[in-house]
Amino acid sequence: MFRTKKLDHAAAVDWARRSIRTISARLVGDAFLASLSPRRPDLRSALASYHLARVLPEHKYEHSPVGYSADGKPLGSMCVVCGHVSREEKEYDLNVLNFERLKWGGVRFTNPVYIGFDLDQAAKWIELEPLPADLHLMSSLLSTVRELGRSDPAARPQHLEKAIAPLLGGNRDQRRVVLEVLAFCAVLQPRGRPSFAREWIRYVDRPDPPELKNDWKYPMHAWRGLDGVDDARLADVFPRLAGFAKH
């Protein structure tokens, strides 16, 4: 169990940016791979958190209303850069974040509080060595992505989630997280859309889903079969896969 943590906007952003200093890209990449055969969701989200923290800028709270009541009064505000909901100090229940991490592999990926917490937990890991079974699973997952793109260039994320179900098992939400994590680190990157691999995409600048009922997170919500896999980015994020991820 974790104690609640009091943070204002500045402290949350600082936590996320500072937490990356204690871990390596290799650690989080290997952890993601090592999660596949034992079906360990808790080892997955740190890959997204690391690559998001890498580009998260130091910034001041830039206010934007989140909505208005019937009488026109603001319902609250958030930072237009990171989406953090409070400029002032508030308490965060880290046990909720940890539950989400353990059960699904994370939920609030771009939230600086989650990024800081997630990477602090990853810093406690010993070096994780993916098994050959993990590497073959990842290779098969990537082959499934490419095959789906060839057979259905207009395939949506939900089609890909169903296609990988026989490989990864778990439940639908856990498989969605696998794909969203790969999209946050730009291995699955929609063509012509802003990428977190290059820079932080401000909360208010993230494109809306192309369909009304699309509830996937950006950038995965914009992925289509023709986008396939970004092989150059794949090599950067998972150098251990060299020789396994075959076309």
- The answer to the question of residue 182 being in a domain is yes
Same domain? 117 vs 147: no
Same domain? 195 vs 162: yes
Same domain? 235 vs 144: yes
Same domain? 168 vs 222: yes
Please name the residue that has the structure tokens 């590497």. Answer: 135
For the chain, the average pLDDT equals 91
- Strand 90-92 and strand 74-79: the pairing is unpaired
Task: Give the pLDDT confidence score for residue 141 in this predicted structure.
Answer: 96
| pLDDT of 220 above 60 | yes
- The answer to the question of residue 246 being in a domain is no
Per residue in 8-62, pLDDT tens?
999 999 999 999 998 999 999 999 999 999 999 999 999 999 999 999 999 999 8
Same domain? 17 vs 118: yes
Residue among 167, 233, 166 at smallest CA distance from 29: 233
Q: Which domain holds residue 144?
A: 132-241
Domain boundary among the residues 122, 146, 176 is at 122
Instruction: Please give the Cα distance from 207 to 219 (Å, whole number).
Output: 8
Domain count along the chain: 2
Instruction: Please give the Cα distance from 171 to 173 (Å, whole number).
Output: 6
Same domain? 110 vs 138: no
Task: Give the pLDDT confidence score for residue 4 in this predicted structure.
Answer: 93
